[in-house]
Amino acid sequence: MLDENGGGILHDWDLAKGGRVAESLVSEDGFAHNPYRTGIWYFLSARLLIEPLKIHTLQDDLESFFYLVLYYALRYIPYNQGIEKLKELQSQIFEECRWNSTSGQYLGGEGKFFTITRGYHTLRINFVDHRPLQNWLRNTLGCIAEFYRYCIDTEQKHFEEHEGEPLPLHCVPVPPPPASIGLHNHEYFSSLVKTALEAPGWASMRTYLGDDLDQYVRTRGRRRMSTLVLPRICGPPKRRLF
């Protein structure tokens, strides 16, 4: 986090690893030795939630930023739906998890994967008075979808080349995307953010559906869901909220 003078705060230094240590965490076949995933469950990429042994990459972090913006937009920016839709998206996109006895891990990401591969329209939300936000969400999700198509095509090609061989226990490691893919680095993603922030049409209206949802949870004796106290790092909620 940088301030206007170039100074700032370095977060999560305790989670940093030196180059040699980082290399030792990757197996010869390109998977992580440890299924521990760094991040908040709500905002982890679909591929990290689906495959715990996937190596954490730049593309995962860029995708996480999309979910972070979407999460707070749904809670505090007016759109064409009410609290029932917020509850639905909260459950399907951010909280979705299941225990997998084979891997001995919590898995998730199916709702995110569906949204990415099927398109923004599947969310059924429209930020009518916040066109720059609406356009950014749509364009960014399209950029993420392009990367996922690259991953799917790469995995499909691998299976075709190894037809008849035993299926791998984990997903196929995908090499870094070429320059033709928007998410091959952060530059195109950053340009989408800059374009949205500079565009006219940002309204000042706010909604408080997020606060209403918190109140809904409290009045039913459930665990309070707070925008400040999210699920613990790398772990899903202990139980479903709804």
Please state, in angstroms and rounded to a whole number, the distance separating the CA atoms of residues 141 and 136: 8
pLDDT computed for residue 173 by the predictor: 78
Tens-digit pLDDT string for the chain (242 aa)? 667 787 777 666 655 655 444 444 444 544 454 555 678 899 999 999 998 888 889 999 999 999 999 999 999 999 999 999 999 999 999 999 999 888 788 899 999 999 999 999 999 999 988 999 999 999 999 999 999 999 999 988 888 888 777 756 566 778 899 999 999 999 999 999 999 999 998 888 888 888 888 887 777 654 444 443 344 444 444 444 33
pLDDT computed for residue 100 by the predictor: 87
pLDDT computed for residue 178 by the predictor: 95
Return the exposure string of 50-67: e unless at least 16 CB atoms fall within 10 Å of the residue's CB, then b.
Answer: bbbbbbbbebbebbbebb
pLDDT computed for residue 33 by the predictor: 43
All structural domains of the chain with their residue ranges: 31-159+174-219
Please state, in angstroms and rounded to a whole number, the distance separating the CA atoms of residues 43 and 64: 5
Prediction pTM value:
0.79
pLDDT computed for residue 226 by the predictor: 40
Q: Residue type for 43, please?
A: F
Q: Which of 55, 45, 48, 59 minimizes the C-alpha distance to 17?
A: 55
